[in-house]
Amino acid sequence: MKQTATLLISCPDQKGLVAAIADFLLQHDANILHADQHQDAELKLFLMRVEWDLAGFKLDTAAFDPAFQPIAEKFQMNWRLALSTTRPKLAIFVSKYDHCLADLLYRHQANELHCEIPLIVSNHADTRWMAEAYGIPFQHVEVLKDVKLEAERDQLALLRHHHIDFIVLARYMQVLSPEFIRHFPNRIINIHHSFLPAFHGARPYHRAFQRGVKLIGATSHYVTETLDDGPIIEQDVARISHRDQIDDLVQKGADLEKIVLSRAVRWHVENRVLVYANKTVVFD
């Protein structure tokens, strides 16, 4: 597997950006493997992802920041460098529904997700057996209405202990507090069982059935302080008919949820997602 570096950039759109970035990489003998960009004409914003092979790259990655900083300052860039040798640490939060957890653990074992999973946290003990089957530490943190903040403090302590980089809510049926979310900005990925912005909040399948919709969906998004309103990473839909009952919607929706969540996690891990203006660009 090639060792690569990926540069993610967002900045005001202006002439000379692509040339400046390409010239900088050329000066250090970078072999560019992938380059993609997007201009938001309305916001006059430029976004770019460029990945190159580290074999033969003449600039030590530890020296990259000071070397690139003059270009970043000239063009007012927000940027970060990611290395393929780095495996981010993921904590999975789950309640009783286990289909998304099972899918993520299988994909991780099959090397589809380039990350570590040192921790599974649940407010119920139902999925402990699954964590044990995959050899991953499981922590049951009970969340009671009157002591929810205390539970979150325990969860944050666990996350710090395991040096967690990002969190996935795999049908975790609790609303996180704003204080918790602020510890992981754009680093908490949720799966919502509807095609947002339709049917946000609780019991979306029941409300979709009552409305008589012909399509149901699933949405994976970053978590913000506003419920089910964070930047959307991925969505998909399935067609239903008048013959489908609520149980059918739940079953069909569960398949969507697994696929949509795993895509979002993979793209996040592969540094393909840039967030701006409460939405995302997902680079191919």
pLDDT, tens digit, 9 for 90 and up, residues 68-91? 999 999 999 999 999 999 999 999
End-of-domain residue from the set 23, 51, 83: 83
Query: Are 197 and 102 in a shared domain?
Result: yes
Question: Full-prediction pTM beyond 0.85?
Answer: yes
Does 73 share its domain with 120? no
What is the rounded distance in angstroms from the CA atom of residue 104 to the CA atom of residue 171?
Answer: 12
Q: In this prediction, what percent of the chain has a pLDDT beyond 70?
A: 100
Q: What is the pLDDT of residues 187-237, one digit of tens each?
A: 999 999 999 988 888 899 999 999 999 999 999 999 999 999 999 999 999
Are 120 and 71 within one domain?
no
> Above 90 in pLDDT, residue 157?
yes
Kindly list the catalytic residues.
228
CA–CA gap between residue 168 and residue 136 (Å, rounded): 15
Taking each helix axis as running N to C, give the angle between helix 64-74 and helix 17-27, from 0 to 180 degrees, rounded to the nearest 10.
160
Q: Which domain holds residue 224?
A: 89-282
Residues 233 and 133 in one domain: yes
Residue 74 sits in a domain whose CATH number is 3.30.70.260
- The answer to whether residue 1 scores a pLDDT higher than 80 is no
d(CA 150, CA 144): 9
Residues 99, 79, single domain; the answer is no
